[in-house]
Chain A
Amino acid sequence: MKRGLDFTSVVIGLLMFALLWQILAWAVHRPIVPSPVQVLPLFVSLLSKELGLHLLASMARVLVAIGLSVVAAVPIGLGLALMPGIDRIFRPLIAILYPLPQIVFLPIIYVLMGISDISKIFLIALIIFFQILVVVRDEAANLHPELILSVRSLGAGRRALFRYVYFPASLPAVLTAVRISIGTAIAVLFIVEQSLTNYGLGYYIVVETYQVLLYPEMYAGILAMGLLGLALYFITYSIELRVNKHLFNLEN
């Protein structure tokens, strides 16, 4: 049984993180590890300036990528679960493509799709796509045959089965897949934003601050990117808790 994460433990975690950071800053005592006391006020003041724009650009890319991958992967995953013949044909291909580090396709995608936001978003979406595809397919294929038979006996054809059984059955798995892909998605975002754009946290951290030795500003960028990942993770998690009420409501 999963346990809900409460607000206090998040706060305690953040405080412990800040403390560890401060200790590290004292111990290293070089410009590359500035103290949080210096970085946090800087972060807040930069957020209303250009850092805010970089954060918005990164957030937009990752959200659009998540949206696109969900919209593409859920119907295809459900389709594969409902059509075992087609699933058998594509299963080996998906088994190969799914664990592949899709980031290595970066240059090919740039050449084929052009150097634009579309190619960056496509690469992030590609990575999340396979995670969702596989869990949706397996979740829907593992539903009890008796459940399907009794819902069919209530009059449900294929469309109603989608709407009332397959979709709600795979929604928790979709959310879990999105949540655990967020780390990878942000990592890929960091890589694709380092070049061929003027906006995004990856660009801000590497080009605008790191390469010109503005370490405290670089830390503000790192903090923004970390918080973006953390926020997306916990937002997805709280939606999961809402959707999975039947799993968390057992005591009352």
Chain B
Amino acid sequence: MMIEVDNLSFAYSRQSKIFENFSWHVRKSEAWSIIGPSGCGKTTLLYLLAGLYEPNEGVIRIAGSTLKRPRPQTGLILQDHGLLPWATVRENARLGLKIRGFYGPDGRHAPSDAFIDTSAGNKIVDYWLKRLGINQLKDKYPSQLSGGQRQRTAISRSLMLDPDLLLLDEPFSALDAPTREDLEKLVSDLHIETGLTIIIVTHSIEESVLMGNKILALKAGTNHTPHIIENVLACRPDYRGSPDFHARCEELRSLLGRSA
């Protein structure tokens, strides 16, 4: 099991509960989409999985151990890419490795078996900058990049840390359609190639159908039981635009009771 959420309860202070007695499991190498109306707790759930928030009650275990703080093997990609504005693409991409070097392999901020020296680090950075097609931009600052290029930088920064779990919070919703499709394909390819477990939060029905082998639908108000839709064809290269894809989108749309 990659993720075990057991009897989770969570509320922001002085607000009603978003999750109560909520249990949900994710197996290794699955790709999940989480969808639901705004305010339903999609992002909250992702931050809980990232170890950035603590459950009020219940337990979250990732890869068998109880989550207490951000876990070094979990990557997190946010809509607002979170790049340092004063650092170049290359420096930004390297940030995670630098932080690991800063603490050393202490098992808490960095995996205890992950020692990377400078030259090995350089190779890793070069590989991922090339793999994500941003190597020619390595000396640019974030303000000189397009939205898609910034998000590629943020993704490369996470992948350099060799994660086994990648959490994405509406990562592509601020991007134009072609850029968005490119990046969706990039993440799907990575998932198929490496078996990386992926959880993507989205408000787009098409994106959730495209990216998630399984879709978790959350509702506004308090979530007690997870509503799960199986979607085995996701991440296939020719899935987008196929009759199956459209049928599944329609199904999900009527399920969520939206016409959008």
List chain A positions with a Cβ less than 8 A from chain B: 144, 146-147, 149-157, 159-160, 163-165, 168-169, 172, 243-246, 249-250
Contact = CB atoms under 8 A, between A and B. Distances in A.
B116 to A, nearest CB: 13
B141 A151 contact: no
Given A154-B157, A155-B103, A246-B86, A146 B80 contact: yes
Nearest to B80: A146
Contacts, number: 87
Contacts of B52: 149, 152-153
A151 B75 contact: no
Contacts of B76: 149-150, 153
A154 B78 CA distance: 12
29 contacts: A146-B79, A146-B80, A147-B80, A149-B47, A149-B52, A151-B84, A152-B70, A153-B50, A153-B52, A153-B70, A153-B76, A154-B95, A154-B157, A154-B158, A154-B161, A155-B70, A155-B72, A155-B161, A164-B95, A164-B98, A165-B84, A168-B84, A168-B86, A243-B86, A245-B141, A246-B85, A246-B142, A249-B144, A250-B141
Closest A-B pairs by Cβ, 3 of them: A150-B82, A153-B76, A154-B96
Contacts of B141: 245-246, 249-250
Nearest to B102: A160
Given A160-B99, A164-B98, A150 B86 contact: no
Interface string B36-61: 00000000000100101000000000
A150 B96 CA distance: 10
Given A151-B95, A250-B143, A250-B144, A164 B82 contact: no
A164 B83 CA distance: 11
A153 B103 contact: no
Contact of B82 (A147, A245, A246): A147
Nearest to A163: B102
Contacts of B144: 249-250
Given A163-B102, A246-B85, A155 B109 contact: yes
A163 B79 CA distance: 24
A156 B84 contact: no
Contact of B86 (A151, A153, A155, A169): A169
Given A150-B154, A153-B50, A154-B157, A144 B103 contact: no
Most chain B CB within 10 A, of A155, A168, A250, is at A155
Given A150-B77, A152-B70, A164-B99, 9 more contacts: A144-B80, A149-B47, A151-B82, A151-B99, A157-B108, A164-B84, A243-B86, A246-B143, A249-B144
A160 B143 CA distance: 24
Contacts of A159: 102
Contact of A146 (B82, B95, B102, B108): B82
Given A150-B82, A168-B84, A157 B143 contact: no
B103 A160 contact: yes
Interface in B90-133: 95-96, 98-100, 102-103, 108-110
A215 B99 CA distance: 60
Contacts of A165: 84
Interface string B151-182: 00010011001000000000000000000000
Contact of B100 (A150, A155, A168, A249): A155
B186 to A, nearest CB: 18
B99 A156 contact: yes
Contacts of A155: 70, 72, 96, 99-100, 103, 109-110, 161
Contacts of B154: 150
Contacts of A146: 78-80, 82
Contacts of A250: 141, 143-144
